Amino acid sequence: MTRLALQGDLLDFTATPALDDPSDPAVRYRPGHWLLIGDDGRIAGVQAEPPGPDWPRECHPGRLVLPGFVDTHVHSAQLDVLGAYGTALLDWLAHHTFPAEQRMADPAHAARMSALFLDGLFAAGTTAAMVFPTVHKASAEALFAAGLARGMRLIAGKVLMDRHAPEALRDDVAGAERDCVDLIDRWHGRGRLAYAVTPRFAPTSSEAQLAMAGGLLAARPGLYVQTHLAENTDEVRWARALFPAARSYLDIYRRFGLLGPRTMLAHGIWLDDDDRRLLHDAGAAIAHCPSSNLFLGSGLFDWPAARAAGVAVTVGSDVGGGTSLSMPRTLADGYKVQALAGRRVTAWALLHAATRGAAEALGLGAEIGTLAPGQVADVVVWDRSASPVEARRQSVARDLHDAMFAWLTLADERHVASTRVAGVERFRRGHSLQTHADVSADPC
């Protein structure tokens, strides 16, 4: 039974806010309101007045109630390389990531890591994700099974990689196609799962494999695509050298039929105006990964240029290049990336990109991303502070944006009180994390 009336300070978005307007009216803030979750796991209503006695109640006075965050780019097999020292992208792959990914060939290990990973997302306040497992079919099976068991919106697919990787991480075109078809038949559209055709990035797939990937998409409408794009200058040079006929790195994906409205491209730092026009015309979206970009020293994403071109920008933690599954920490890094480039982005633009904006970019705007009636109740209750210092900062906030921007800058997993997925509580502080105080809701 998921029927519940949840009281707190509700915040979501009714439209796309400008990047740099703290008073943008697209934010909807409803303090002390009741969010009604029905037995179907969907939001039944939002109201200021307490509901009738037939509603079980849970009150969180002063706490924030937000739509669950959507992480549009993250690697389930890379928890083991979080915070790995000393390298840029291509060396980081070779020295840290590829060895860790090889362990996912073992189905038992893949199952343990998938559970740890998805529960880690819930503990961080993220309820939906677009995820890379590894090249191994078993890693995708394990991830989908874990996502199904948790009732979550999960988009994933076996990684395609038939060259420029260790032998143990390479597939081949025919075998990869068989695995993809099996996985699509078994998982795509089951529960809240969807399949994404997942070439790791252009340099690790042959032309024949990219053509196979494009063929899968053409034959089966409704699939997603996820891959990496223009993260690092050495990578861009390498991709261009491997595909000399393409106009740009992005153009490689276009030539193989991989660009469309269900395509999510991680990073997209080193693009030109023609690339951005192509992204817009295709309806493809970018997963901006600021924490990863800062940690690996990849570059500063030009968010205003993407916005000006009408390209949807979402946000990915990109663990393990990124250093945290926490979306507030990732969004705070998003602000810093723009600041380093002399630009500013508001709390509203950041929060929108990780909720409603991500949902719309994935074609899931009717399912997730806001607190509107009819949406699936992927809902997270957040503390406004986790220390006396933060509480002091919140107490002197000048206005709503000041309070929320400071919160976003300082918040992390410690602030997550409760995470619900389709109305079912999947995380409660104190129950899953022994080191934290239990969450108590006031008697209503």
Q: How far apart, in whole angstroms, are the C-alpha atoms of residue 177 and residue 212?
A: 7
Tell me if the bond preceding 157 is cis, omega within 30° of 0: no
Please, which residue, 132 or 303, has the CB nearer to Zn ion?
Answer: 132
Q: Which range, of 62-70, 318-326, 361-369, 436-444, touches Zn ion by CB under 5 A?
A: 318-326
* C-alpha Rg value of the chain to the nearest Å: 21
Candidates 4-12, 28-36, 312-320, 332-340: pick the segment binding Zn ion (CB under 5 A).
312-320
Does residue number 318 form part of the binding site for Zn ion (CB under 5 A)? Answer: yes
| Residues 38-97 within binding reach of Zn ion (CB under 5 A) | none
Total interface residues for Zn ion by CB under 5 A: 2
Nearest approach in angstroms of CB 222 to Zn ion is 23
The least distance separating Zn ion from the CB of residue 321, rounded to whole angstroms, comes to 6
CA distance 44 to 33: 13
CB of 408 to Zn ion, least distance (A): 23
Q: Which is nearer to Zn ion, 248 or 292 (CB)?
A: 292
State the helix-helix crossing angle for 388-395 and 400-410, rounded to 10 degrees.
160
CA distances 65 to 320, 379, 380, 384, Å, are: 28, 7, 6, 10
CB of 379 to Zn ion, least distance (A): 27
Write each residue from 229 to 268 as x if it is in contact with Zn ion (CB under 5 A), else as -, in one continuous string: -------------------------------------x--
Q: Of 217 and 266, which CB lies nearer to Zn ion in the complex structure?
A: 266
Site string for Zn ion, 265-304 (x = CB under 5 A): -x--------------------------------------
- Comparison of 73 and 415: residue with beta carbon closer to Zn ion: 73
**DSSP character string of 76-98:** TT-GGGTT--S--HHHHIIIIIH
Tokens of 161: 């990689």
- Residue 354 φ then ψ, to 5°: -100, 5
Tell me which H or E stretch contains 71. Answer: strand 69-75
Binding footprint of Zn ion on the chain (CB under 5 A): 266, 318
